[in-house]
Amino acid sequence: MSRTDDNVCGFTYHMTTPRDLEAAIQFDHASFRLNGRALVQDLVLPVKQGEMLVLLGRSGSGKTTTLKLINRLLLPTSGNVRVNGRQTSEWDPIQLRRSIGYVIQDGGLFPHFTVERNIALVPRIENWPRARIETRVRELLSKVGLSEDLLSRYPNQLSGGQRQRVGVARALAADPPILILDEAFGALDPITRSEMQKEFRELQQRMQKAVVFVTHDLREALLLADRVALMEEGRLIVDLPVAEFSRSENALVRAYMEAFSGLPDSGHSVRSSA
Amino acid sequence: MNFLHFMIANRQQVLDLTLEHITLAGVATVLAAVVGIPLGILITRIPQLSKPVLGSVNIIQTIPSLALFGFLLPAPWIGERAGRLAILALALYGLLPLVRNTYAGIQGVDPAVVEAARAMGLTDRQLLFQVELPLASGVIVAGVRIATVTSIGVATIAAAIGAGGLGEFIFRGLAMVNNDVILAGAVPAALLALVADFALGRLEQRLGTLRLKS
């Protein structure tokens, strides 16, 4: 499969289905059970191209399992998950994963690869020509706000914020139409974290990818999301546009809002302009 | 230091036996690595096999070396030449550190890194060769180091079945009740082990710092 910088084959193919009919990611009564316990239960959730969905919930609520259902690290035990109109079970898992950028806490970088090789990972295994990889890596570095001096460094020679930026650059390398992030900024200090959130929001406004962002931080959710999906014990509690979310009368939403209020600058006002 | 005089007087034989010793231990270790490392990888892929395989190589290790030589004696082709027999026995001893360290090295790779690799769309083969083996290489080389040093030590006993090596001097010296002859075998064997240990230790350290770049 050949790819151009701004287009991924497979994705262009599925562009023939109208966007409003088929979301980039569609959970269709998807459940995942392990040893008789439902980690995700009867999930119905669409994510449209260009939309940033934040999956909010406490630890063990099924957020990460939900993410893994998207890139087929797990297959639903009932129902199905469709990516670009095709069930994940029908995708070649390798092709599927290469068309989905994945960012985890602290970057999940390969400790034995330099920054350059880390970012170039997917283009390399996709056999891009060397010159194109080099151009792409430099382009990505500037996109995530890193200097080219870092290219030959190893992950342990970077700050936490730098590692996280490299992690984002690596996920974007082959320009996947879908991006999934698992507590991506969770290991950062508050100032770096807030910087990264703002930059990521701006980046997404330019990229218009389908993004699923997992977090347990309400403020982060309200800052980043177009839509917030709140999960609890494997179930979807509410799924609302961000402006409506903070006004919701749902008891769990209220509990969240209260848990985060009382702080000097609570999440309420963060996105009030939106 | 009479054994030095003995060694100088018999330098040609010392050299021959040393080379023979290196060949025995070297071929055995390579053989152990060729079997042991893939076996170690295999049991990370098929976890049900890990207990029986690790158990078996463990049991081999507990067999006294002379007895092991004896057990292998009736084996066809192997038993025909003392050299073959000695190499096989030494290789069997080398299996445990190689299988165990390969297994432990791969299991010890940060699960977050492995999961990230899978999620980025690496194939099983790419995951193994680009991520797991490089990150486990320090631990695997530590296994090679233990296998090599053990092999050099146990190879001295191979002389008991006529496989040659520096053990010849040791057994001859024992029979003659002559310490100088014993030392002419024991000292070079010990030096060989130390040199191998040092060299592989350096390599392990270099790979170890690579691994620590996390």
Exposed / middle / buried, residue A90 (Cβ in 10 Å: 0-12, 13-18, 19+): exposed
Is B135 in Cβ contact with A155 (below 8 Å)? no
Is A108 in Cβ contact with B116 (below 8 Å)? yes
| Residue B214 pLDDT level (bands cut at 50, 70, 90) | very low
- The tens digit of pLDDT for each residue in B30-43 reads 999 999 999 999 99
> Chain A residues with CB inside 8 Å of B113's CB?
108-111
Is B214 in Cβ contact with A111 (below 8 Å)? yes
Residue B1: what pLDDT?
62
Give me the long-range contacts of B192-195 (CB less than 8 A, separation at least 24): B192/B18, B192/B21, B192/B22, B192/B25, B192/B152, B192/B166, B193/B149, B193/B152, B193/B153
Unique residue bearing structure tokens 């993410």: A67
> Chain A residues with CB inside 8 Å of B210's CB?
112
* d(C-alpha A197, C-alpha A220), whole Å: 7
Helix (H) or strand (E) holding B196: helix B179-211
| Residue B83 pLDDT level (bands cut at 50, 70, 90) | confident
Partner B contacted by A71 (CB < 8 A): yes
ipTM of the complex as predicted: 0.80
> Chain B residues with CB inside 8 Å of A100's CB?
119
A73, A110, A157, A183: best to mutate for the B interface, most B CBs within 10 A: A110
Spatial CB neighbours of B18, under 8 Å, sequence gap ≥ 6: B166, B188, B192
Ramachandran quadrant class, A131 (left: phi over 0; alpha: psi -120 to 50; beta: rest): alpha
- The tens digit of pLDDT for each residue in B8-62 reads 999 999 999 999 999 999 999 999 999 999 999 999 999 999 999 999 999 998 9
Q: % helix / strand / coil in chain B, to the nearest 5? A: 85, 0, 15
- The mean predicted confidence, pLDDT, of chain B is 91
Residue B125: what pLDDT?
95
Is-contact B157 B66, C-beta < 8 A?
Answer: yes
Q: How many inter-chain contacts (A to B, CB under 8 Å) are there?
A: 62
Partner B contacted by A111 (CB < 8 A): yes
Is-contact A172 A3, C-beta < 8 A?
Answer: no
Q: How far is B210 from chain A (nearest CA, A)?
A: 6
Is A95 in Cβ contact with B131 (below 8 Å)? no
Find, in chain A, the residue whose alpha carbon is nearest to that of B211: A112
- The tens digit of pLDDT for each residue in B148-202 reads 999 999 999 989 888 889 999 999 999 999 999 999 999 999 999 999 999 999 9
* d(C-alpha B65, C-alpha B71), whole Å: 10
> Chain B residues with CB inside 8 Å of A156's CB?
212-214
* d(C-alpha B56, C-alpha A90), whole Å: 41
* d(C-alpha B53, C-alpha B96), whole Å: 10
> Chain B residues with CB inside 8 Å of A157's CB?
213
Spatial CB neighbours of B212, under 8 Å, sequence gap ≥ 6: A111, A156
Measure the CA angle with vertex A57, ends A51 and A59; round to 5°.
130
> Chain A residues with CB inside 8 Å of B112's CB?
104, 106, 108
Is-contact A140 A172, C-beta < 8 A?
Answer: yes
Residue A47: what pLDDT?
95
Q: How far is B26 from chain A (nearest CA, A)?
A: 30
Q: Which two tokens stand for residue A15?
A: 């562009």
A70, A112, A179: best to mutate for the B interface, most B CBs within 10 A: A112
Is B115 in Cβ contact with A95 (below 8 Å)? no
Is A125 in Cβ contact with B122 (below 8 Å)? yes
Unique residue bearing structure tokens 């990888």: B41
**Of residues A71, A100, A156, nearest to B213 (C-beta):** A156
Sign of the alpha-carbon torsion through A59, A63, A65, A67: negative
Q: How far is B135 from chain A (nearest CA, A)?
A: 7
DSSP string, A168-194: HHHHHTT--SEEEEESTTTTS-HHHHH
For residue B163, report the phi and psi dihedrals to the nearest 5 degrees: -90, 0
Q: Which two tokens stand for residue A252?
A: 């769990």
Is-contact B24 B165, C-beta < 8 A?
Answer: yes
Residue B162: what pLDDT?
86
Closest CA to A180 of A18, A63, A28: A63
Partner B contacted by A127 (CB < 8 A): no
CA B64 to chain centre: 16
Closest CA to A184 of A214, A218, A224: A214
Q: Which residues are bridge partners to A160 per DSSP? A: none
Is-contact B102 B143, C-beta < 8 A?
Answer: yes
Q: What is the full per-residue pLDDT of chain A (274 aa) written as tens digits?
A: 444 444 444 444 444 444 445 789 999 999 999 998 999 999 999 999 999 999 999 888 999 999 999 999 999 999 999 999 999 999 999 999 999 999 988 878 999 999 999 999 999 999 999 999 999 999 999 989 899 999 999 999 999 999 999 999 999 999 999 999 999 998 888 898 999 999 999 999 998 899 999 999 999 999 999 999 999 999 999 999 999 998 888 999 998 888 887 655 544 544 444 3
Stated pTM of the model:
0.83
Closest CA to A102 of A64, A138, A129: A64
Is A111 in Cβ contact with B110 (below 8 Å)? yes
Q: How far is B32 from chain A (nearest CA, A)?
A: 27
* Amino acid in position A15: M
